[in-house]
Structure 1
Amino acid sequence: MRRLFFFFAATVLALLSGLAQAAMGLAEIAGLAGDGPVTVFYPSSGEAQPVRRGRFMLDVAAQGAPIRGNGRLIVVSHGSGGAPWVHADLARTLVEAGFIVAMPEHRADNYKDDSNPGPDSWTMRPAEVSRAIDAVGRDARFAPLLQLDKIGMYGMSAGGHTALSLAGGRWSPAAFRQHCEADLESDFQTCVGLITRLTGSGLDSIRKWAALLVIRHRFKDSTPREHNDPRIAAIVAGVPGSADFDMASLATPRVPLGLITAQQDRWLVPRYHSDRVLSACLPRCELIADLPTGGHGALLSPLPPGLTGLIGDMLNDPPGFDRAALLPEVNRKTTAFFSTHLLP
């Protein structure tokens, strides 16, 4: 027994040493059923080199050969208009722990096509996550390295809304409309996105009237939206949109649920979103991290450079937010949450 223990310990140490020396691979696979591509980050034996993706320079082994990690997959759902690259630092921390990370491109709500964000996208996103799992499971490079019976899922902002749906939450477009009718002025950006903002001028009354006119016309359906994928066994929601959820449906999450909050978020004001979820689900969920000085873009890492105008106001860091000190620790805590709930 003693020899068996030391053999097992040596094997684990060898595996961890190999992963520590591995590069982060980067590949793109085709989505299913007409979906956009799925970006995959993974442990690789390839050599990391600087690779440009949009405005970002990533140190990755592009198309590098995958190597075995811990056998578990994490799916990441990006925010509205989002891209895989703004979650590359979290992906790296997960990959260093042995996970493979898959990021689907959500239809009509991504950096290449942002023509239909909001409730229409939120309705489609959970099934897109499930099909991304299927796509990775059919890929000859990754399928042999994974067990798909226990999968992790992470979502930020609109992706956090996706995460709450997969955790058992129920919502409807009509509930979104009701929230905006009641709290339009105090949660204006949630209701209108980047179309406009309130300025304190006399035109604000016209902006609010027009916003409600559109919202009331588009979002009448009160049919509850819900989606269950039994393969997903642990979920993290970062600064999630959630004002349109039935909080009773989140009181007892279907799987272990972690939350990350940012108290200076002016895009998804916490008292209508993340704080409501925490009030509903604690102690049956876990607060992974609270960022008292963090804004809505706090979890984007790397943060897109050169953001100006309304999107800059929403995503750039507020004064006093120490990104370099805080974000690596949040990523480590997120990775530890998944390791606790997904690994033997």
Structure 2
Amino acid sequence: MKRSLRLLASALALLLSGVAQATMGLGEIAATAKDGPVTLYYPSADAEQPTRRGPFVLQVAPQGQPVRGNGRLVVISHGSGGAPWVHADLARSLVQAGFVVAMPEHRADNYKDGSDPGPDSWTLRPAEVSRAIDAVGRDPRFAPLLALDKVGVYGMSAGGHTALSLAGGRWSPAGFKRHCEAHLEEDFQTCVGLLTRLTGGPLDGIRKWAALAVIRWRFGDDTPRVHADARVAAVVAGVPAAADFDMASLAAPPVPLGLVTAKQDRWLIPRFHSDRVLAACTPCERIADLPTAGHGALLSPPPPGLTGLIGDMLNDPPGFDRAATMPEVDRRITAFFAKHLLQERGARGAASAG
């Protein structure tokens, strides 16, 4: 057994050594009538240069020529109102290990259009991930470099909800309604997003009444939402929205499922979300548990200059050392995908070497 593990490690090292010096390319698959654009990070031989995207300056090779990596794709599902730039640090870790990374833009719940977040978006997102995999498979730049029979999915926040769906989770809008009826005050931001907050003042009663009225009007459908994609072979959910899931559907996921949790998360209170998943799913792996991190810890690089309610929800709390923490979290996520997406290939190489 020890010899087999050593051979496997050697084979993986050889596999990854060919991309260790690659730069990170940045590309895009254009939007269609049905879907938004898909942003791509990938191993490239071209030189990186400072490239501005929104408020961020990224070191990437824009439209760089792709080079062969490890042959595997990881899809990242962004959070509500999210952009592909806030996961560039994780993308770099994955690209350095040879992965191609694809980030679909989720309809009506992205940085350009935040008009319809929550259960309406959660219903659409898993199929958008599947169509992003299809789009990468049709792209002549990447199709020859990838085998799409084993794809990884990572999602954070609302993207974590997407990830849980692709790991076999079953949920319904009525489940969201029931959670908010039972725990509105304790988990208020989950139920209302950034529309308002409770202040402890005399208007809180009106805020809670109005929130429940809208939730009951919009989210009464108890039809289970399920989505299966046989190509998805490993999933990581970071600080996921999870209160509306039937936890029995996540007790024994059909694919390896890892979680990243943040104890100081005030947007998706852990005891209603990530902790419930971990309690229900005994085979799940807690990739990282961040005791001093808030909800925005997994946005890396973090959005600058956030103020007001969104700043309270996403800015790092006092005592959280981002520089010392997040590179290791990215390495652990990358290692999880390498273990579950590359192991069979590495084992075949080790057997050949033996």
With structure 2 as the length reference, what TM-score do the two structures score?
A: 0.93
Does the Cα contact within 8 Å between 2:266 and 2:294 map onto a contact in 1? Answer: yes
Does the Cα contact within 8 Å between 1:90 and 1:301 map onto a contact in 2? Answer: yes
Does the Cα contact within 8 Å between 2:16 and 2:70 map onto a contact in 1? Answer: no
- Cα distance, 1:213 vs structure 2: 0.5
Question: Compared with structure 1, are the counterparts of its residues 297 and 11 closer, same or farther at alpha carbon in structure 2 (3 Å cutoff)?
Answer: closer
Structure 2's unaligned 5+ residue stretches are 1-8, 346-354
Pairing of 1:215-254 with structure 2 (within 5 A): 215-254=215-254
- Cα distance, 1:158 vs structure 2: 0.1
Write the deviation string for residues 43-92 of structure 1: whole angstroms up to 9, x where unpaired.
00111000000000000000000000000000000000000000000000
Write the deviation string for residues 30-52 of structure 1: whole angstroms up to 9, x where unpaired.
24552000000000011100000
In the alignment, the residues of structure 2 paired with residue 111 and residue 100 of structure 1 have an alpha-carbon distance, to the nearest angstrom, of 23
Of residues 27-36 and 56-65 in structure 1, the stretch that sits farther from structure 2 once superposed is 27-36
Write the deviation string for residues 139-170 of structure 1: whole angstroms up to 9, x where unpaired.
00000000000000000000000000010110
- Cα distance, 1:22 vs structure 2: 1.1
Instruction: Report the RMSD for the aligned CA atoms in angstroms.
Output: 1.5
- AA at the equivalent of 2:161: H
With structure 1 as the length reference, what TM-score do the two structures score?
A: 0.95
In the alignment, the residues of structure 2 paired with residue 210 and residue 264 of structure 1 have an alpha-carbon distance, to the nearest angstrom, of 27
- Cα distance, 1:18 vs structure 2: 3.9
Please name the residue that 2:352 is paired with: none
Does the Cα contact within 8 Å between 1:30 and 1:135 map onto a contact in 2? Answer: no
Write the deviation string for residues 171-223 of structure 1: whole angstroms up to 9, x where unpaired.
00001000000000000000000000000100000000000010000001000
Please name the residue that 2:121 is paired with: 121
Quick check: 1:45 aligned with 2:45?
yes
Pairing of 1:19-98 with structure 2 (within 5 A): 19-32=19-32, 34-98=34-98
Write the deviation string for residues 122-153 of structure 1: whole angstroms up to 9, x where unpaired.
00000000000000000000000000000000
Question: Compared with structure 1, are the counterparts of its residues 208 and 141 closer, same or farther at alpha carbon in structure 2 (3 Å cutoff)?
Answer: same
Please name the residue that 1:5 is paired with: none
In the alignment, the residues of structure 1 paired with residue 30 and residue 207 of structure 2 have an alpha-carbon distance, to the nearest angstrom, of 41
Pairing of 1:201-212 with structure 2 (within 5 A): 201-212=201-212
Please name the residue that 2:351 is paired with: none
Structure 1's unaligned 5+ residue stretches are 1-8
SS at structure 2 position matched to 1:140: coil
Does the Cα contact within 8 Å between 1:31 and 1:132 map onto a contact in 2? Answer: no
Please name the residue that 1:132 is paired with: 132
Give every structure 1 segment of 4 or more consecutive aligned residues whose post-TM-superposition deviation is greater than 6 Å. Answer: 9-14
Write the deviation string for residues 199-258 of structure 1: whole angstroms up to 9, x where unpaired.
010000000000001000000100000000000000000000000000000000110000
Please name the residue that 1:302 is paired with: 301
Please name the residue that 1:3 is paired with: none
Provide the aligned length of Structure 1 versus Structure 2.
Answer: 336
Pairing of 1:111-190 with structure 2 (within 5 A): 111-190=111-190
Does the Cα contact within 8 Å between 1:37 and 1:105 map onto a contact in 2? Answer: yes
Structure possessing the higher relative contact order (Cα contacts under 8 Å, 6 or more residues apart): 2
- Cα distance, 1:21 vs structure 2: 1.6
Aligned-residue identity in percent = 77
- AA at the equivalent of 1:48: E
SS at structure 1 position matched to 2:93: helix
SS at structure 2 position matched to 1:164: helix
Please name the residue that 1:102 is paired with: 102
Please name the residue that 1:312 is paired with: 311
- AA at the equivalent of 1:299: L
Does the Cα contact within 8 Å between 1:72 and 1:150 map onto a contact in 2? Answer: yes
- AA at the equivalent of 2:26: L
Please name the residue that 1:4 is paired with: none
- AA at the equivalent of 1:165: S
SS at structure 2 position matched to 1:58: strand
Question: Compared with structure 1, are the counterparts of its residues 12 and 202 closer, same or farther at alpha carbon in structure 2 (3 Å cutoff)?
Answer: closer
Of residues 97-106 and 12-21 in structure 1, the stretch that sits farther from structure 2 once superposed is 12-21
SS at structure 1 position matched to 2:25: strand
Please name the residue that 2:331 is paired with: 332
